[in-house]
Structure 1
Amino acid sequence: MESEEIRKKFLEFFRERGHVIVPSSSLMPDDPSVLLTTAGMQQFRRYFTGELDAQKDFGGKNTVSIQKCFRTSDIDEVGDKTHLTFFEMLGHFSFGGYFKKETIEWTYQLLTEAFGVQPERISATVFTGDEAVAFDKESFDAWSKFLSHSKIRKGQRKDNFWGPAGSEGPCGAANEVYVDDMEVATLVFMEFYCLPDKTLKPLPKKGVDVGWGFERIVKVTQGVENVFQTDIFELIIKKINEIAPHLKDREVRVFADHLRAAIFLTADGVRPSNKEAGYILRRLLRRTLAYQIKYDIHADLFSEALKFIKDKFGPFYLEVKKTQEIGEVFEGEKNKFQKAIAAGLFELKKRDKISAQDAFYLYETFGLPFELIKELAPPGAVKDLEYKDFEKEFKKHQEISRAGAEKKFGGHGLLFNTGELKAKDEEELKKVTRLHTATHLLQAALRKILGPEVKQMGSDITVERTRFDFTFSRKLTQEEIKKAENLVNEVIQKDLPVGFVEMPLEEAKKTGALHFFSASSSEGGSTSGGGGEKYPERVKVYYVGHSLKDAFSKEFCGGPHVGNTLVIGKFKIIKEEAVGAGARRIRAAVFP
């Protein structure tokens, strides 16, 4: 049975049983607490809580959908025969329309009659009960009409009770359904509301949330060993093997999964960046790009994958037909990565042993994701390198950057005295961080336009604006102001990464990074070189660009900064004025 036919049969089966067909929601959910859509029920969550009325919105109490989903936790596992990042979830839902008896009966009918699975291959689990909730006898009895008792196992809360998703919310017993001991569906019966103190109250309307693994059902019906042998992946796997016959099966599966996932993410509006969903997309694309470099693959795998996805999935998901737009995004990321990867690989291969600190340096400086470092490093160099240690370094950097908002710039032991970031909460911290990076770009732009006479004397950043004081002997013309503003915005639009390198003081000075502040002046009396600076033996150099060498801006700084320039938004110079003999002041703001 072809995968397209399985989609059609599933939707038709439940349409005939009074369900309204609802299109898949975007992979980018309308829920700030969730990074990406991970389950079919996410778009229906507010119907289960009673906040929204399904009868009013859908014209019925029961819905059916095929949902695009993405699991970030599986990225590092991809390459084996089972894990996928992007997958489809077949789902049917009820908001007070039916409950356990009908759900279990339809599950059995769907498997045996629609999908042709032999009854002896099917088994199920039900909740065994605990001190809070009784044994799920209703489900056990319903399954007993179709399966022998030996095929109905009792499971504990961790496997057979779902929810709540947060500290409170709908929850209930769950059944897991298996074919040949492979789980193919989960049936969740929402009948309680869990309060923050863990007290359970009956829901006024019982709900049903059923999710089927589409790729797994296709595997079952097509009788193959794993999902990568199904018609979902068959043609793209064949094409990859033709282009690169020397690849191992694991690498082929990584290409197939990551290219498909990247296309769907891009089609739903995700763009490569260093944060949130954009970082997930960047990881996928850069992993495949690194493989192409490692295995000397010159063919355009992205274009081949786009053609395949358009033909295979386009009839059902119209958004993947935007091949030109998706291709342009991929090409842009490819160009950015290639500039950094050569230097990164050179640095990587110089090292006989790579620690978690080294791995974070390679990530921050060259954009090498952790998994690429593990895969591309010399044999033996990463045998002791664990992701949990890399993650500690990553979190340490985040904490240091966040702490920088409560101190003077350079408050991590660097006495730069350039003013204070004024932020009272996390939201304001994001805004002043954008302005802080914009201030670095402004100084670099002014020096390019006006010359090296420009040296920062001080700055003051609030949530509304940045105030930048600098040495210059005359008033700026309107043309010069506009040039500086335009140059900053041009750099922002290039989506350049922002990173830092920690190094010995003398080595840092040789990089050409700006370091003008005197420790003896509260406004940061401008000096160049020895003057009154008091630096520790090791300093941080923040830079904007793909590497420290070719950076647009590089300065001694303690942070915090954005991860990439596009996050800053639109930069606007508000005012330019004198603040004394040989000193000017610019006030500027950024807008989303």
Structure 2
Amino acid sequence: ELSSKPYFPDERGFPFRVIADHARACTFLIADGVLPSNEGRGYVLRRILRRAVRFGKSLEIEAEFLHLVAGKVVDLMAGAYPELKGRRAFIEKVVRSEEERFLETLSAGLKIAEEMISLTKERGQTVLSGADAFKLYDTYGFPLDLTMDLAAECGLSVDREGFDRAMEEQRAKARLAREAALKEETPEVVPDLFVNVKNDFVGYRRLKAMATILGLAEGGEAVSLVSCGQTGGDERRVTVLLDRVPFYPGGGGQVPDQGELRSTTGALAVKGGLRLPDGRILVYGAPISGRLSVGDRVLAQVDEARRRATARNHTATHLLHKALKIVLGEHANQAGSLVAPDRLRFDFTHFGPLSEDELSRLEEIVNEKIIEDIPVKWKEMDLSTAIAEGATALFGEKYGDRVRVVSIAGFSKELCGGTHVERTGEIGLFMIVSEGSVGSGIRRIEALTGFGALARMRRDREMISEIASSLRTDVANVVGRLEELMGELREARKSLEEAKIKDIHRQAEMLCSNARTVDGVKVALGQVDAGDMETLRMAGDLIRNKLQSGIVVIGARSGDRALLLAMITSDVTKRGFDAGRIIKEAAKEVKGSGGGRPEMAQAGGKDPSGVPRALERAYSLIAEEAGRTCSAGA
């Protein structure tokens, strides 16, 4: 029905079967919470969805259609899979959104691909380069197989090996960037450092602990002693292994704790931590006084204010995650996060921007749970038990046999190794400060809690007070006063526009009355007070209409730019006069260029002082052209 073409069971029906199969796969993937993206399951979904759309093109279906096929899949399969029926609108919306995005990509990519193919043929080559094919893929999202199809239609092949090399080069660059970032964030640790030495994390229950230094390292080598007097100062990275560690080493998006190690002989500022693959925790930082040695007893003290601020933000992300599922649907899954003491950032799967109502509802739900002061509890259990009890696990995350489950009674239950508040009331306040896209199918919310949210509210209040003061009103009437001023501004602009139009009419009348005649052709020529090309064209239209028959050449200064315009009535163009030719020559006087049709042409230039010369040059050209047409007629 959509293609108005008959179905055949042989190879002619292949596009129909591909679309049906892919529409079914897309429907079930989206129902299962998968959204189109550039990696993992989302990438598989995107590829099969776009392949179905391309086969729709082969059936000459130009408009969006796949969401209609997905709806039909729901109709046919809802009996066996009733959950599809409740998600029908969402499935259709996701498919349509991705289909529209792909059609836009196709439109832009087709133009670039055609240009590349044309240039390849002009050079006498029969192979489209792998670099060009990769640019289409990487920059414009153009699938390689579609590029190969287009090339084949034009008698070309594609350098597949070159494409693969370019793809591998990009992957290598990405790997190097990731490794560089990891190296930047990770203290130097040699593989055999601190062998057979274990330690315990005690930071869930306490923020300070007496501990023994089991090992020290600096510059990737084990040392027995570090002192404050050594070179490097605050930039030094000393790695410490303690037998008992209250410092959270970072993980799951949460930044590491900071704090201090202090003994009777010296102290070290802890700047971060790292959990090794075998579970051991290292901390690193720089000495700030005296010296520390292997075997020393130290007081390990976590920065309490920083830890509590981070915990507020971490628990808030759990509340936000659940709120997103309530407001947007079960497909809204965590796709990344940053939990720092000063802010939180939460990435989640969703296909479009959130409305103001949705953002307000999220804030409302989270703050309701904060006000309810719900206990936040955690316990360790087997992974299978946690999943059976309904704990949320992140897709793609690796978990051990034993996991830590953080529960906000009656609201949220997630697998999480981070630090949290004991009751939601400790968060104080939750405030969303931004929401936007960070990739196809991935949205990001940034938010503040506690004192950070309070500071932001205070800043916003002060800003509104300053605005109210500038508007000479009180805070309660700011919106009304702004609307009043906007109305006045609209009226002022309207009056200014009317005055501008009157002035353009006056200038047009003057130029028409001063029009010269060249071999029976009226020529209106002069400089106009117009600040942009749109106004200049308005003046040109008025003059041409008043002349009824003739040539118009006008110019204007627009800041540091020159503007030129030529218009010729159709009866005069029949005599051989060409606006494009006239304007092209005149533009040289303003150090510019331009062109157009015989009836109208325009130009811009860098030298506004040359406008009078350009107009005179145009008049000379018109006179010369008139002489030639006169001689030809004789």
Q: Which structure has the larger Rg?
A: 2
**TM-score normalised per structure 2:** 0.28
* Greater helix share, structure number: 2
Q: Which has the higher contact order (CA 8 A, sep 6+)?
A: 1
**TM-score normalised per structure 1:** 0.30
